[in-house]
Chain A
Amino acid sequence: MMYFSRLKTALILGACLLGVLFSVPNLMPAPSRWVPWRAIHLGLDLRGGSYLLLEVDMAAVIKERLDSLADGARQGLRRAGVPRFVVTPQAAQNRVMIRIEDQTKQDAALEAVKALATTSTSGITQRPDLDFESTPGQILITLSAPALVDRATNAVQQSIEIVRRRIDETGVVDPIITRQGESRIVVQLPGIEDPNRIKELLGKTARMTFRLTDETANVASPVPPPGVDFLPLEGRNGGGKIAVRRRIEVDGANLTDARAGQNNQTGEWVVNFTFDSVGTRRFAEVSRNNVGHPFAIVLDDKVISAPNIREPITGGRGQISGSFDARSATDLAVLLRAGALPAPLTVVEERSVGPELGADAIRAGAIALAAGFVMVMIYMAVFYGLFGWMANAALLVNLVMMVAVLSLLEATLTLPGMAGMLLTLGMAVDANILINERIREEVLNGRTPLNAMETGFKRAFSTIIDSNATAFLSHVMLFVFGSGPVKGFAVTITVGIATSLFTATMFARLLMVRWYATNRPAALPV
């Protein structure tokens, strides 16, 4: 145990040197793009920024699917010549219920709705996404469980993409957007102190549709006629409702571009948009057939404008003028360019920290870290003398190694993480204390210096392993189950425990052996 071959010595010193090398990226910026430069990230609680946890509204995703199923079923039944039927989407049971009066048409009806099923390709087995259940006079179409999971996964994937596009448009530097759990999205925005604008941008589904209005309907009547919605009109005049047909003529998904601009004549803010080829063709067709009638531009169930069609619009370009100012026009353009979210997003957790508060936290943490470090070192020197100084050297190396490993992992240093670092330093010397106390005991038992050191290390080693293993395990659990800044705490402590094993048992031992070999003392200073 007390003999180090040249190779082993070189390996230990090499590891320490690597530790120093890998810590350097934290002190200076990368000299060139080609040098691998991994550093510890500062958590949002230290550098300032916003953390948003968004929840995708799965109920809305399912409801939309059921609504479109119900529409499909109605059309299918009509085409199949089934007279008098009632189609009701039942969101709570994930199904659509169809009642048919004429039971002789049951088979024809079932045939018609079965065409609605598509095969989902989740996993290896392919199976239809719908389950059909037919009893006389009634057909139930239920969304199958795997189809639901599929839909949820797609909705979250799509939402992440849209969220990323919308945030990129705002020019936030280095946003991190990740999925969490089944229906959540984590958005981290470094340097953003007030995430309000982003929350506003993400809070809108931004589904834009172009629809015709129903000029015959009376908006004062309590119930709209079939196929028509009464939608509120946004604008300066405020209030008011417009009868808009449900049928979507052109969808916002057919836009290729949208830019905020100012109208040449009036100077008011507008959003100019361009359709893709499909949108251009459809819009041309609709406008040709409805010259002189108004059409409605609907955004998230609100009419932003309902201009009259003066002439057929065939160029695929258009302009939305509502009651915009510079910012709202820009925001709408951003939303239209990024595309619509498949379902509404809700902010379920928000944590924002301003940079000055983060700087205060860093200062407080650094003072505490330095003070704790110095106190531990003085303690070790006073109570363990020379071997205590060796433990202190090992402690310094441990700090460097910890920083190196955290940099390699590109771990995030949070405020609790700094606390973790400090505690680790306090606990790391535990191994040295164990060893020193053991060596002292062996000396008192009458062993020679070399023999005492040898036995001390050997006997203390299994104790060190046992005592560190349990602490290690409980912090791994904290990492698995914790979230946010606490994860940073768990990471620093687990890394610190691992590196302290190396520094206390290898580096400190190497120092002792070198010291013994050069001085050959008759008695150990314990």
Chain B
Amino acid sequence: MFIRPLFRIVRDDTKIRFMNGRHMGLIVSAVLSIASLILFFHPGLHLGIDFSGGIIMEIRTQGPADFVKIRASLGNQGIREPGVQRFGEDSSVLIRLGAQPNEAATQVVVNKVRAAVEEAQPGAKIVRTDAVGASVSAELFRDGMLALGISLLMILVYIWFRFEWQFAVGAVVTLILDVTKAIGFLVVTRFEFDLVMVGAILTIIGYSTNDKVVVYDRMRENLRKYKTMPLRELIDLSINETLGRTLGTSMTVFLAALPLALFGGSSLSGFAWVMLFGIVVGTSSSIFIAAPILLFLGEHRLRRDMAPVATPKAAG
């Protein structure tokens, strides 16, 4: 443990023929992504308060909370359809209300909830109030989507600039597939989609690109090194050579995010679970999606100016 490594994740002579499974990988990925898209439209994302607007108030009562009483006094205040639920402990209550027609109404309702809580559970503390008006939530949503869109675009441009266009297209198509799956995961798990989740998805994008760049980098290097090797073998070789690193990095990020998912508290665990899912998806897509796409796009083009290869040219 102190000088020599105890284990290796992959043996040095690993030669898995990943490209044999390329159709399988693409089909599985496409099916998952299409399923995610369907889930996205129906039943759709569970929008958090940032994007849907509305009110969330968290209350800590002295002693166990009396839900019936709280609901009754909310009703007395004329609040219709409040979501009142236990939140962790017995003395913790979460009150959730949908978007109000306008900003002034939102503030009126917040005050009514305060009054109702005071009436039902004297001495209860309101430990958190989030109230987002309709216009603000629409803007937050637009800005969040802009951040996602522009990030994808910048990654496309960057990779295009540093590699051949086939790499850029391959990376961005894979990223879109990754993101759709993450959204499907959000729908299935009912985690709230809010600004923090946009952050999580952007991190997944950043992380996944990072992974792809490492594999692509090796392919580019090998393209120069082995001028006669068929692209398919070359891609397999590159993936196998970088496999230790790909899995290693995934493991460290996974290990870093795991405690966050387990003990990060209610507000961060959703974020962390999405990250964990994204790490698994991002790692597998580097191997099974990004590389085959490159194989399809680059079968002839990436090799064209190099063949026939007879003269031994010094590689860059």
Which residues of A come within 8 Å of B, CB atoms?
Answer: 53, 55, 193-194, 196, 199, 203, 346-354, 356-357, 360-361, 364-365, 367-369, 371-373, 375-376, 379-386, 388-389, 415-416, 418-420, 422-423, 425-427, 429-430, 433-434, 437, 441, 444, 459, 462-463, 466-475, 477-478, 480-486, 489-490, 493, 525-526
Contacts and interface: CB of A to CB of B under 8 A. Distances in A.
B103 A354 contact: no
Interface string B85-112: 0000000000000000001101100110
5 contacts: A346-B104, A352-B129, A385-B6, A463-B213, A469-B158
A350 B114 CA distance: 14
B103 A470 contact: no
Interface of B: 1-9, 12, 58, 60, 103-104, 106-107, 110-111, 114, 125-133, 135-136, 140, 143-144, 146-147, 150-151, 154-155, 158-159, 162, 195-196, 198-199, 202-203, 205-207, 209-211, 213-214, 217-218, 221, 241-242, 244-245, 248-249, 251-260, 262-265, 267-268, 271-272, 275
A493 B203 contact: yes
A489 B197 CA distance: 11
Contacts of B133: 347-349
A437 B213 contact: no
A516 to B, nearest CB: 14
Contacts, number: 257
B127 A353 contact: yes
Nearest to B159: A470
B257 A383 contact: no
Contacts of B129: 350-352
Closest 7 CB pairs of A and B: A426-B256, A471-B206, A364-B265, A371-B259, A354-B127, A481-B147, A474-B151
A373 B106 CA distance: 42
B103 A423 contact: no
A474 B206 contact: yes
Nearest to B56: A351
Nearest to B194: A486
Given A385-B1, A470-B213, A348 B260 contact: no
Contact of A478 (B7, B147, B241): B147
Most buried by B among A466, A468, A490: A466
A368 B260 contact: yes
A371 B158 contact: no
A422 B257 contact: yes
Contact of B1 (A381, A467, A472, A473): A381
B245 A434 contact: yes
B198 A478 contact: yes
Contacts of A193: 126-127
B155 A427 contact: no
Contact of B103 (A346, A351, A379, A429): A346
Contact of A486 (B58, B125, B135, B198): B198
Nearest to B156: A470
